[in-house]
């Protein structure tokens, strides 16, 4: 296959869901027109990010009876003819009333091909800076997620999942060539760890990594870091931006995955006689 062009839509998200969906559609179509094959939206692309908003903006995810955001994502993917990693939306499971932070992935035909519920909930406390506890309103998911494309398999996880190396490790050992993270780090955690974690997951597993953030809205209650970023298997940043609305593009030469694994052959050097292979644990 030819090289893959990836686009990260660092979307300006506001309080009006319909406006967010329309803006996302415009940016996805723009990215497709620029030649992107996979387009990624940010975490909570249809709503402000915050525990006080999740219930208000939550939707059921049922492709047979699509809610407004699910219909919009299907239409975006089909009309732009791209693989669309649909950021995340607050998901309502009607049978239980539980809420999840959920990413859906769509084929170029507009079919849902994967669904990932955030595994690790964002509960942090930086004294004097930021306290945030997703677990006050959200439930965690229980499934590792990947999806197939003509260029290879990609793992999907959401934001705080990035801090847990096992997720990317398992994806890579199961054949994924990259990890994609819709995310929304903040003005405290972003400068500290956003790029560091992306480069760490890339160098650990010799894969591509990418994270897509909302743009910074200084008037919002939560201030996203932005800086949507793509990293190659050598842990080099190949595309990034600042905190304003933008689209980050990166051309992924997938031959680099084999190249780096031959140059630094850790896959054949691991000592599973000394420690477990987490990808084999059920």
Q: Give catalytic residues, as residue numbers.
A: 43, 118, 159
CB 52 within 8 A of CB 12: no
Give the C-alpha distances (Å, rounded to integers) separating 88 from 73, 208, 262. 11, 20, 35
CB 36 within 8 A of CB 4: no
Q: What is the CA radius of gyration of the chain?
A: 18
DSSP assigned state of 215: P
How far apart (Å, rounded) are the C-alpha atoms in residues 79 and 30?
11
CA 137 to chain centre: 21
CA 254 to chain centre: 19
Strands 89-93 and 83-85 come out as: unpaired
Strands 38-40 and 237-239 come out as: unpaired
How far apart (Å, rounded) are the C-alpha atoms in residues 149 and 145?
14
How far apart (Å, rounded) are the C-alpha atoms in residues 282 and 223?
38
Question: Could you report how far apart the first and last alpha carbons of the chain are, in Å?
Answer: 33
CB 99 within 8 A of CB 90: yes
């Amino acid at each position: 296959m030819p090289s893959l062009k990836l686009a990260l839509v660092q979307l300006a998200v506001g309080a009006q869901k319909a406006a967010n969906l329309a803006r996302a559609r415009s940016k996805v179509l723009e990215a497709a027109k620029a030649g992107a094959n996979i387009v990624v939206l940010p975490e909570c692309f249809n709503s402000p990010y915050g525990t006080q908003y999740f219930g208000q903006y939550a939707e059921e995810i049922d492709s047979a009876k699509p809610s407004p955001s699910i219909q919009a994502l299907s239409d975006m993917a089909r009309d732009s003819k791209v693989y669309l990693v649909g950021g995340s939306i607050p998901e309502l499971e009607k049978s239980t009333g539980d809420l999840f932070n959920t990413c859906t992935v769509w084929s170029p035909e507009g079919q849902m091909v994967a669904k990932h519920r955030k595994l690790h909930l964002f509960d942090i406390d930086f004294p004097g800076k930021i306290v945030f506890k997703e677990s006050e309103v959200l439930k965690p998911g229980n499934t590792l997620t990947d999806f197939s494309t003509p260029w290879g398999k990609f793992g999907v996880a959401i934001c705080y999942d990035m801090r847990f190396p096992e997720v990317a490790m398992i994806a890579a050992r199961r054949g994924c060539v990259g990890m994609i993270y819709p995310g929304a780090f903040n003005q405290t955690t972003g400068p500290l760890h956003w790029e560091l974690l992306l480069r760490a997951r890339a160098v650990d597993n010799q894969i591509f990594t990418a994270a897509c953030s909302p743009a910074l809205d200084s008037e919002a209650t939560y201030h996203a870091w932005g800086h949507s970023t793509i990293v190659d298997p050598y842990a080099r940043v190949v595309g990034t931006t600042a905190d304003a609305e933008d689209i980050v593009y990166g051309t992924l030469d997938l031959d680099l995955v084999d190249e780096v694994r031959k140059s630094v052959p850790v896959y054949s050097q691991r000592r599973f006689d000394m420690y477990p292979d987490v990808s084999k644990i059920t």
